[in-house]
Amino acid sequence: MNVVIALVIFIIGGVGGFFATRLLSNTSQEQRKLAEQVNKSETALDQYKLDVAEHLSSSAKLLEQMNDTCQTAMKQMKESTLLLQKATTAEVEGMPFFSAETQQQLAQTATLRHPKRSNEAAEAMTEAPLDYSGNPSGLFADQKQKVTTSV
């Protein structure tokens, strides 16, 4: 009887162990999956942190360049303002509006354009418009009209 009781306890223990392992192995598989997901998430987070740090670094460099450019522009504006404040009216009248090279180019293009216009203007001035022509015609002619009806 002791043998039978031991055998029944052994079978019950085997069945209980089988179900316990199945239950625990599912839990351990879920834990392994969750651990893998955690590792992937941590890797993605680390990569994101690196990307953000790189972006902030490049943004800081760009802002530093912008600051340098603005400082240069402010310095140039200050110098220009001082120059303009120092200029007297006599100096301003003596200063050309365009540079010498630009004035030379404007003079060349003006000589190319203006002779055509002056010739056309001279021709237009020598001839009278057609409505003021020298030969009167129509109702404005100084000829007497013939009477066509007789009384």
Cα dihedral sign, 67-69-70-75: positive
**How many structural domains are present in the chain?**
1
Cα separations (Å) of 25 from 11, 36, 62, 111? 21, 16, 55, 99
In a domain, 133, yes or no: no
Helix, strand, coil percentages, rounded to 5, for the chain: 80, 0, 20
pTM of the model: 0.39
C-alpha 73 chain-centroid distance: 21
Residue 26 placed within a domain: yes
Domain of 56, in residue numbers: 10-78
CA distances from 57 to 44, 60, 68, 83, 121 (A): 20, 5, 17, 39, 68
pLDDT tens-digit series, residues 17-70: 888 887 777 777 888 899 999 999 999 999 999 999 999 999 999 999 999 999
pLDDT: is 124 or 45 the higher one? 45
User: Does 28 map to a domain?
Assistant: yes
Average pLDDT across the chain, whole number: 82
